[in-house]
């Protein structure tokens, strides 16, 4: 699947030693020798050689030397080599499609447009819960994908295309699973309807009591206190108001 015209001779000699080693060598020959080291390299760290320089961030990788991440100053020793630049998106390493597709087959890997450039992710990005309505996910880490892709990163493609690997079941499911779920729902509804009709004859009083329990009860009458119901009447004078005091 990958373009690899420079296979080491040691792999061929060891492949004839045994069946298990032959399978491993055949698996390794599917990919270029620099791919696995590239995926396991930590980028965007400070260069040990040019630590005091202004641009000492390691975001380059030499496909010929495969000696780890390089900074822009280290490329002076790799002028005639094939070096690629690694970029970062949401704390994940990505590479532009225009660079990687020249040396690697990325068929089946979903691409993303970031900063007006189409890129692919190097390693998997597991997703805890796929979104609602998702019909296609990565065969390795189950990340949500478009329907025309199988993997979310280059690392997932290596794992998913290996011999003996069994892809996980899709969350979206096929038509058969949907039909089974619909049939099961119909059975549950029928069972519930049968149980309701069987108990409708003798349990009418119970149903009415249940309905009544949900309806609000009549509030109790409030106690009428005499001072609350007191009305204003004709004012009464004091009994001593009519007495005339004589001196």
- The reply to whether 57 falls in a domain is yes
In angstroms, rounded to a whole number, what is the distance separating the alpha carbons of residues 64 and 79?
Answer: 11
Q: To the nearest 10°, report the CA torsion of 130, 89, 161, 65.
A: -160
Query: Is 216's pLDDT higher than 80?
Result: no
25 within a domain of the structure (yes/no)? no
Backbone torsions φ then ψ of 46, nearest 5 degrees: -75, 135
pLDDT in tens, 149-200: 999 999 999 999 988 777 766 544 444 444 555 555 555 555 555 554 554 4
Distance, in Å, from the CA atom of 77 to the CA atom of 49, rounded to the nearest integer, reads: 13
Range of the domain at 67: 30-161
Q: Per the structure, how many domains does the chain have?
A: 1
Pairwise pLDDT comparison (130 vs 177), residue with the higher score: 130
pLDDT at 102: 93
Look up the pTM and report it.
0.58
Q: Is residue 122 part of a domain?
A: yes
How does pLDDT run across 61-79, given as a tens digit for each residue? Answer: 999 999 899 998 998 888 8
Q: Are residues 71 and 86 in contact, defined by beta-carbon separation less than 8 angstroms? A: no
If pLDDT is split at 50, 70 and 90, which confidence band does 55 have?
confident
Does some domain include residue 220?
A: no
Distance of CA 17 to the CA centre of its chain: 44
CA dist 40 and 155 (Å) reads 10
Structure tokens at 233: 């009447």
Answer whether residue 191 is part of any domain. Answer: no
Q: Is residue 17 within 8 Å of 7, Cβ to Cβ? A: no
pLDDT of amino acid 225: 56
Is position 116 within any domain? yes
Closest CA to 103 of 66, 63, 71, 70: 63
The pLDDT of residue 164: 79
Residue 42 has pLDDT above 90, yes or no: yes
* Domain contains 218: no
Residue 237 domain flag? no
Higher pLDDT, 96 or 173: 96
């Amino acid at each position: 699947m990958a373009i690899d015209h420079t296979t080491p001779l040691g792999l061929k000699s060891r492949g004839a030693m045994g069946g298990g080693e032959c399978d491993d060598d055949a698996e390794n020959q599917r990919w270029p020798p620099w791919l696995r080291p590239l995926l396991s390299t930590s980028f965007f760290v400070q260069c040990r050689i040019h630590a005091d320089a202004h641009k000492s961030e390691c975001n380059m990788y030499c496909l010929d030397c495969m000696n780890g991440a390089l900074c822009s100053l280290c490329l002076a020793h790799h002028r005639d080599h094939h070096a690629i630049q690694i970029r970062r998106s949401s704390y994940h390493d990505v590479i532009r499609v225009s660079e990687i597709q020249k040396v690697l087959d990325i068929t089946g890997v979903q691409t993303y447009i970031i900063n007006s450039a189409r890129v692919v992710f190097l390693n998997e990005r597991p997703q805890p819960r796929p979104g609602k309505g998702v019909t296609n996910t990565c065969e390795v880490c189950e990340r949500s994908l478009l329907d025309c892709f199988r993997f979310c990163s280059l690392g997932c493609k290596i794992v998913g295309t290996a011999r003996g690997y069994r892809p996980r079941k899709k969350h979206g499911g096929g038509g058969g699973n949907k039909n089974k779920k619909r049939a099961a729902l119909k059975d549950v509804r029928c069972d519930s309807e049968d149980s309701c009709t069987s108990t409708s004859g003798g349990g009418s009083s119970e149903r009415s009591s249940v309905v009544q329990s949900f309806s609000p009860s009549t509030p109790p009458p409030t106690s009428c206190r005499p001072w609350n119901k007191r009305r204003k009447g004709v004012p009464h004078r004091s009994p001593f108001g009519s007495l005339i005091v004589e001196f």
